[in-house]
C-alpha cells in the first residue's frame, strides 16, 4: 500500500499507509474521524539508479527518491537544480565572472591563464626534480 499525506479535521496533516482508491475521502487511521487524502508532489530527478546526486555539503550520495526527500527535509532552503536550468546557468556565470576578475587582479589575462600557469609550473618543477634526482 502507498504512503499518503492525509488531512484529518482533528489530527491535522499526517503521513499514513492506506489503500488506494479513486475517492480521496477516507477515515483517519489514527482517530477514525473524517479525513481526506492530499495530492502529493512527486520528486524525481533523473533515473535515480543510473544518475545518483552528490551533495557537496556533506559528501552524501543520494541514489533514491526517499534519500532525496530526507536530504531536503534535513537541509531546508536547499534546491536541486538541473545543469540546464536558468538558475544554475546564472549562478555559474556569476562565479565564473568573479574568478575572472580575481585572476585579472592578480596579473593574469583570465582565469584559464591563471589555471594553466600553475599547472605548467607544477609540471616544470616535477621535471626539474626528476633531473636533479637522476
Q: How confident is the model at residue 19 (pLDDT cuts 50, 70, 90)?
A: low
76-94 confidence digits (pLDDT tens):
777 766 677 788 788 888 8
46-57 confidence digits (pLDDT tens):
544 456 676 766
Nine-digit cell string for 109: 589575462
Task: Tell me the residue range of the domain where 54 lies.
Answer: 45-80
> In the chain, count of helices (H) and strands (E)?
3, 6
Task: Give all strands (DSSP E) within the chain, no chain letters.
Answer: 3-8, 12-17, 25-27, 34-38, 53-54, 61-62
Strands 53-54 and 61-62: antiparallel
Q: Is 92 found in the same domain as 119?
A: yes
Nine-digit cell string for 32: 477514525
Q: Is 129 found in the same domain as 90?
A: yes
Q: Is 22 found in the same domain as 54?
A: no
Q: Is 104 found in the same domain as 90?
A: yes
Q: Is 95 found in the same domain as 124?
A: yes
Q: Is 129 found in the same domain as 91?
A: yes
Position 128 pLDDT exceeds 80: yes
> Given this model, what pLDDT does residue 49 score?
47
Q: Is 91 found in the same domain as 76?
A: no
Nine-digit cell string for 113: 591563464
Q: Is 94 found in the same domain as 58?
A: no
Say how many domains are in the chain: 3
Amino acid at each position: 500500500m502507498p504512503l499518503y499525506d492525509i488531512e484529518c479535521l482533528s489530527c491535522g496533516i499526517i503521513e499514513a499507509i492506506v489503500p488506494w482508491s479513486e475517492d480521496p475521502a477516507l477515515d483517519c487511521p489514527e482517530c477514525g474521524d473524517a479525513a481526506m487524502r492530499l495530492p502529493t508532489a512527486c520528486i524525481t530527478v533523473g533515473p535515480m539508479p543510473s544518475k545518483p546526486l552528490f551533495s557537496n555539503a556533506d559528501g552524501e550520495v543520494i541514489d533514491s527518491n526517499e534519500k532525496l526527500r530526507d536530504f531536503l527535509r534535513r537541509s531546508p532552503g536547499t534546491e536541486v537544480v538541473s545543469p540546464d536550468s536558468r538558475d544554475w546557468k546564472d549562478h555559474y556565470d556569476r562565479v565564473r565572472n568573479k574568478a575572472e576578475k580575481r585572476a585579472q587582479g592578480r596579473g593574469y589575462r583570465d582565469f584559464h591563464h591563471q589555471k594553466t600557469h600553475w599547472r605548467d609550473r607544477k609540471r616544470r618543477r616535477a621535471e626539474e626534480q626528476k633531473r636533479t634526482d637522476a
